[in-house]
């Protein structure tokens, strides 16, 4: 009996040691990052593909970017092309930031990841997206842009649905801001793709207007 208990304890400890790192909770800037978003009537269970800190000008922590998808993938092209529910989440870590500032930053970053012809086709919808980011966000609040298959890109600011913009080409372009050829940051891209896990920097950076 005693030997059996020892064996069970040994097996339990061994299982804990071999559990994949992805099973452990990810924490960024003190915020625990959920590994899943439960299924709803609108979408299947969404899994965290990856998350990272967006650092403005290399010194100011701005937001935590989280990408949730139905089927996690490390190939950026596969993620972009997949016509399934996706959600790009922006968790604000600055004291306050205007939604318009976020939208304009997205607009500028997007231009680096599309051709002139693509930008021209997207222009009216991009301007509509900018107008939807019409309120300020405080530290700890979230906004997100999600792709709803056959419907469009839904914009949500701090729980308030701002609207839906049609066209998968728009969402594909928005996703390229994070994981395209010219992302907002190479480390950010790798971490959102799940290739590299977020590591808190050793050096102390200035926090964004805290």
pTM (two decimals): 0.82
Which run of H or E residues covers position 121? helix 116-132
Burial class (CB in 10 A: 0-12, 13-18, 19+), 178: buried
- Are 46 and 66 within 8 A, CB to CB? no
CB 173 within 8 Å of CB 123: no
The answer to whether residue 200 is domain-embedded is: no
Say which DSSP state 207 is in. Answer: B
Provide the 8-state DSSP code for 202: S
- Of the candidates 125, 131, 129, 134, which has an alpha carbon nearest to the alpha carbon of residue 145? 129
Give CA 4 to chain center in angstroms: 46
Q: What is the count of structural domains for the chain?
A: 1
How far from chain centre, in Å, is Cα 68?
A: 7
> Is residue 81 in a domain?
yes
Checking DSSP bridges between strand 142-148 and strand 36-37, what pairing results, if any? unpaired
CATH of the domain at 155: 3.50.70.10
Does residue 24 belong to any structural domain of this protein?
A: no
Given this model, what pLDDT does residue 8 score?
A: 54
Task: Inform me whether the pLDDT recorded for 207 exceeds 60.
Answer: no
pLDDT at 62: 86
Residue 159 has pLDDT above 80, yes or no: yes
Residue 14 lies in a domain: no
Q: Is residue 139 part of a domain?
A: yes
Q: How confident is the model at residue 58 (pLDDT cuts 50, 70, 90)?
A: low
| Structural domain contains residue 161 | yes
**Owning domain of residue 59:** 31-192
* CA angle 136–138–139, rounded 5-degree value: 150
Which residues are CB-contacts of 149 (< 8 A; sequence separation ≥ 6)? 83, 84, 85
What is the CB-side half-sphere exposure of residue 18 using CA atoms within 13 A?
A: 6
- Which residue has better confidence, 202 or 2? 202
Does any domain span residue 198? no
Residue 205, in any domain of the structure = no
């Amino acid at each position: 009996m005693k030997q059996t208990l020892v064996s069970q304890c040994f097996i339990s400890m061994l299982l804990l040691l071999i559990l994949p790192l992805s099973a452990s909770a990810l924490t960024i800037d003190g915020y625990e990052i959920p590994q899943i978003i439960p299924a709803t009537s609108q979408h299947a269970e969404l899994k965290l593909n990856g998350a990272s800190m967006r650092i403005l000008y290399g010194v100011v922590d701005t937001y935590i970017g989280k990408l949730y998808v139905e089927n996690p993938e490390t190939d950026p092209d596969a993620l972009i092309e997949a016509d399934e529910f996706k959600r790009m989440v922006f968790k604000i870590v600055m004291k306050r930031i205007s939604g318009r500032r976020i939208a304009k930053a997205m607009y500028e970053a997007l231009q680096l990841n599309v051709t002139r012809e693509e930008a021209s086709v997207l222009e009216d919808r991009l301007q509509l997206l900018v107008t939807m980011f019409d309120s300020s966000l405080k530290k700890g609040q979230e906004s997100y842009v999600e792709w709803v298959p056959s419907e469009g890109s839904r914009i949500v600011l701090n729980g308030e649905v701002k609207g839906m913009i049609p066209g998968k080409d728009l969402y594909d372009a928005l996703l390229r801001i994070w994981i395209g050829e010219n992302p907002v940051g190479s480390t950010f891209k790798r971490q959102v793709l799940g290739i590299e896990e977020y590591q808190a920097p050793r050096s102390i950076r200035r926090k964004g207007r805290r």
